[in-house]
């Protein structure tokens, strides 16, 4: 390469047009209930079923309910049990998924007798 071509290449790198930056997509989270905006969402909601769900979410948060990974309420802390102990010691499907009554470990008499099926309670 000649000196002129090298100078042109350097000039293009330094003073040339910069590529356009691609805008990253951001999800609109204004409709998701948080502690900051739940009152506004309740006030503006027209559907009574959704409004009642938002109200129950607000009350659950005020009580301090302990939820598992699936969003199910495991228990409410009180003076005997703290939130940490509920999260640590509650048995069952605290991480979501099946309860596991087919093995006959608990819950169903037919499963305990080795029938291989659990009938009734949470099966």
Kindly state whether residue 32 falls inside one of the protein's structural domains: yes
Is 13 a domain residue?
Answer: no
Return the pLDDT at 28: 83
39 in a structural domain: yes
Residues 58 and 78 reside in one and the same domain: no
| pLDDT attached to residue 97 | 61
Classify residue 72: in a domain, yes or no: yes
53 and 35 assigned to the same domain: yes
Whole-prediction pTM = 0.51
Task: Give the chain's domain count.
Answer: 2
Q: What is the pLDDT of residue 73?
A: 84
Q: Is residue 22 part of a domain?
A: no
**Is the residue at 57 inside a domain?**
yes
pLDDT tens digit at each of 123 positions of the chain: 688 888 888 888 777 777 778 888 888 888 888 889 999 999 999 999 999 999 999 999 999 998 887 778 888 999 998 988 888 887 665 566 666 555 555 555 655 565 555 555 554
The parent domain of residue 35 ranges over: 28-63
Instruction: Give the pLDDT of residue 7.
Output: 84
pLDDT value for 10:
84
The half-sphere exposure of 1 on its side-chain side, counting CA atoms within 13 A, is 8
CB atoms within 10 A of CB 108: 19
- Is 14 within the bounds of a domain? no
Residues 42 and 58 reside in one and the same domain: yes
């Amino acid at each position: 390469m000649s000196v002129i071509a090298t100078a042109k290449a350097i000039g293009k790198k330094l003073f040339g047009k910069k590529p356009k930056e691609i805008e990253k997509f951001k999800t609109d989270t204004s409709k998701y209930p948080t502690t900051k905006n739940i009152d506004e969402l309740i006030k503006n909601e027209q559907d009574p079923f959704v409004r009642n769900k938002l109200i129950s979410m607000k009350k659950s948060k005020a009580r301090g309910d302990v939820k598992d990974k699936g969003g199910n309420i495991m228990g409410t802390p009180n003076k005997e049990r703290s939130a940490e102990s509920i999260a640590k010691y509650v048995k069952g499907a605290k991480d979501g998924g099946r309860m596991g009554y087919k093995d006959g470990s608990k819950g169903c008499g037919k499963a305990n007798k080795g029938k291989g099926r659990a009938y009734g309670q949470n099966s």
